[in-house]
Homo-oligomer: A and B are copies of this chain.
Amino acid sequence: MRRSSAQGVLYGQAVANVAGISGSDLECMDFLNLEGRATAGRLAEVTGLTTGAITGVVDRLEKAGYVRRERDDADRRKVFITVVPETTAEIGKLYVPMQQAMHKVWSRYSDEELRLLLRFATDGYKGVLEATEALKDLLDTPPEKRADLKTPKPRR
């Protein structure tokens, strides 16, 4: 799974390269495609970038025609970033090889097996979120106060 993750990052870098945007820009596009739209602040949260950096990200994406800025009428401090479907489709095409490869993999599993994989994907995501929280707690604890850390033992 770690290797897949690393290889997936390389795939993303290649896509960003071809699309003429940075890796962070693409990361934001991915999130926007999942959520439809998001405020600049939310993008900063999910990417771990500062709000200043996000201004740059959105500037580049807007200039390239991938997104639009839209001020929220209810709270005029907020800026919603929304994807422009037509231009974004061009980036989408670059993911087709990945989608086809994954569908090929999935096709080798029964419905029951796929249900298990879906359960694991869901559980795993919760686990990663949990780990992120635990890491924060660990870093808030001064090193000398930390309980001894032990990696869990493999079962065999």
A64 interface residue per 8 A CB criterion: no
A74 interface residue per 8 A CB criterion: no
B4 and A128 within 8 A (CB): yes
Identify A131's interface contact among B98, B127, B152, CB under 8 A. B98
Assuming the contacts A149-B93, A152-B103, asked whether A132 and B7 have C-beta atoms less than 8 A apart, the reply is yes
Identify A116's interface contact among B6, B113, B125, CB under 8 A. B113
Identify A101's interface contact among B27, B92, B104, B130, CB under 8 A. B130
B99 and A152 within 8 A (CB): yes
Copies in the complex: 2
A77 interface residue per 8 A CB criterion: no
Cα–Cα, bound, A10→B69 (Å): 25
A100 and B152 within 8 A (CB): yes
Chain B's closest residue to A153 (CB) is B103
Interface residues of A (CB under 8 A from B): 1-11, 13-15, 18, 27, 30-31, 34, 46-48, 92-105, 108-109, 113, 116-117, 120-121, 123-132, 134-136, 138-139, 149-152
Query: Can you sample 9 A-B contacts with CB below 8 Å?
Result: A2-B34, A6-B31, A14-B132, A14-B135, A14-B139, A93-B149, A101-B131, A104-B127, A109-B120
Among all A-B residue pairs, the 4 with the closest Cβ atoms: A97-B134, A101-B131, A103-B152, A98-B131
